[in-house]
A = this chain, B = another copy of it.
Amino acid sequence: MVTIRDIAQATGVSATTVSNVIHGKDNRVSAETIQKINTAIKQLGYVPNMSARSLVSSSSKVIGFVNHAISRRTTNFMEDPFHSAIVGEIEAALFENGYYLMLRTVETAEELVTFLQNWNVDGLFITGIFKDKFFDSVAGLNIPIVFIDSYVRTPRFCNVGLEDFTGSYNATRHLIEKGHRHIGFASPSIKDGGVLQERFLGYKAALAEASIPFDKSIVFQQGMDIASCKIVSDEILKHPELTGLVVTADLMAAGIMTGLRVNGLRIPDDISVVGFDDINIAQLVTPPLTTIRQDMSLKGRLAADFMLQRLSGTPLDTMEVTLPTKLIERDSVKAL
């Protein structure tokens, strides 16, 4: 392994001078020496040791991407195509600025603290439900933190979010405008304190605005897997009054649509469906799904921008971005 000392020896200068040249603090070094050092670095293949650098500078160039999961074994956050799109964008942006990305799914606040201290993490992206103990454990940190889709908002932290409430409100309102009055709601969870809860509130708000009484018997809480979707579509059979359905994820909407078709219901003739996200599946199912689009890559890019700006000390105009959604009309909704 080639160290900075080897470069120093090869060029006849001290290690400090080499270090200074590497970091561009070379106003006190002659052009000739700089040249020699750079040549030696290339020839000998010197690569800095991040551990040593991190040890002495208390800064590691590591950015953590932390997801809070209730259980690591049952929820694999990378399986969610959204998270993975975000992670990809972030990795690319960080790389170009010399940072490294370390992934971590944590179940407990202690795990998070250990992770942070272990690595002297320079910054943190946080996704998943993150409140109470978790929030406290990062609240005192003196590193940039960027939340993604958090609804525990404080002016002290950056957050990149989405108009979840408005998106879901618009989805519901779209059905109402098409003449629907009996509109169900399907979602993996509605009280998670996060995006799904907001979407639920948006649904309720649109109903209330149209003076449609809320009926909790047509709120279907189930997982997104195909078996759970089948349960929802069976439940729907028991509510022949339903003519519309708002679903908080396209994947779930697709699963429910398949189940409904098996049960002999036609979409949109018997029931209209609106999804959420506009993942590629939305265009590929039959009929193509009317849905609420969000731009996941943009979310990742903005999150990375926040992080890089805070890392470089650039003052921020704002600590928060809430991305808009857009209703994409396809063929899964029929006017009554």
**B-binding residues in A (CB < 8 A):** 1, 45, 47-52, 54-55, 60, 62, 72-73, 76-79, 81, 83-85, 87-89, 91-92, 95, 100-105, 113-114, 117-120, 226, 251, 254-255, 257-258, 261, 280-281, 283-286, 288, 297
Contacts and interface: CB of A to CB of B under 8 A. Distances in A.
Contact of A79 (B73, B81, B104, B251): B81
Most B Cβ at <10 Å: residue of A45, A47, A104: A47
A117 B1 contact: yes
A58 to B, nearest CB: 8
Contacts of A100: 102, 104, 118-119
Nearest to A72: B92
A140 B50 CA distance: 21
A1 to B, nearest CB: 7
Nearest to A224: B280
Most B Cβ at <10 Å: residue of A88, A283, A297: A88
A226 to B, nearest CB: 6
Nearest to A107: B95
B51 A120 contact: yes
Given A76-B85, A76-B88, A91-B105, A226 B48 contact: no
Given A1-B117, A79-B88, A113-B47, A286 B285 contact: yes
A263 to B, nearest CB: 15
A85 B79 contact: yes
Contacts of A55: 49, 51-52, 55
A73 B92 contact: yes
Contact of A84 (B52, B81, B118, B286): B81
B76 A103 contact: no
Nearest to A117: B47
Contact of A78 (B85, B118, B281): B85
Contact of A51 (B54, B77, B81): B54
A80 to B, nearest CB: 8
Contacts of A119: 50-51, 100
12 contacts: A49-B118, A50-B118, A78-B84, A78-B87, A81-B84, A88-B105, A92-B105, A100-B104, A226-B284, A251-B280, A255-B284, A286-B286
A171 to B, nearest CB: 20
Given A1-B117, A258-B284, A261-B286, 14 more contacts: A47-B113, A47-B117, A47-B118, A49-B55, A49-B117, A50-B51, A73-B92, A76-B297, A78-B87, A78-B91, A91-B103, A100-B119, A281-B284, A286-B286
